[in-house]
Amino acid sequence: MAHPVDPIDPVQPPPPPPPPADGSARPTSTGLPSNVAAALACFPLIGGIIFYILEQRDNFVRFYAMQSIILGVAWILFEIIWTICSRILTPIPALGWVFAFLLWVVWAFASIAFLIVLIVAIVKAFSGVRWDIPWIGPMARKQTNEL
């Protein structure tokens, strides 16, 4: 037994598919999809500065750009403090090698943590998910006026 088929009206085209709920296909003022622009903005400091300046409409991209800027500045500050501590503590006689080892361990863990946060932020941005980097996300929301 055959089921009746709904006739297709040749005059009216089918309705367009609904846009994704996360807004990942929205074009930005840069011409890129929102999720791609946000993922590129995640690259610390340079990507953040470029996309924060270029993107004026999309708060999703601006949020990730501001997080990138803050994370990049935090990393630079960490490197400066680490270098100063290293220059002061490692020349100490008989204990310098202990401080050098401890400072190296701190630097290694911080670098791994930084890389993990960076990868997670890029994946979340590309997925269209707004993810707050701990401590940095709330500061970025304030700067982009997203409270």
Mean of per-residue pLDDT scores for the chain: 85
- What is the reported pLDDT for 7? 59
Would you say residue 27 lies in a domain? Answer: no
- What is the reported pLDDT for 112? 97
Would you say residue 107 lies in a domain? Answer: yes
Mean pLDDT for the stretch of residues 40-57: 92
Q: Name the pTM for this structure.
A: 0.76
Would you say residue 17 lies in a domain? Answer: no
Would you say residue 87 lies in a domain? Answer: yes
- What is the reported pLDDT for 71? 95
User: Which amino acid does the sequence have at 83?
Assistant: T
How many domains does the chain contain in total?
Answer: 1
Q: Is the pLDDT of residue 138 over 50?
A: yes
Instruction: Please report, to the nearest 10 degrees, the dihedral formed by the alpha carbons of residues 73, 75, 76, 78 taken in order.
Output: 120
- Could you read off the pLDDT of 14-25 as tens digits, one per residue? 555 554 445 455
- What is the reported pLDDT for 86? 92
Would you say residue 50 lies in a domain? Answer: yes
Q: Is the pLDDT of residue 99 over 70?
A: yes
Q: Which of 82, 81, 117, 115 is nearest to 100 (CA)?
A: 82
Rg (CA), the chain: 24
> Which backbone phi and psi does 4 adopt, to 5 degrees?
-70, 140
Q: Is the pLDDT of residue 94 over 90?
A: no
Would you say residue 85 lies in a domain? Answer: yes
User: Is the separation of the CB atoms in 103 and 33 below 8 Å?
Assistant: no
Would you say residue 16 lies in a domain? Answer: no
- What is the reported pLDDT for 15? 58
> Which backbone phi and psi does 114 adopt, to 5 degrees?
-60, -45
Would you say residue 105 lies in a domain? Answer: yes
Give the domain extent around 66: 34-143
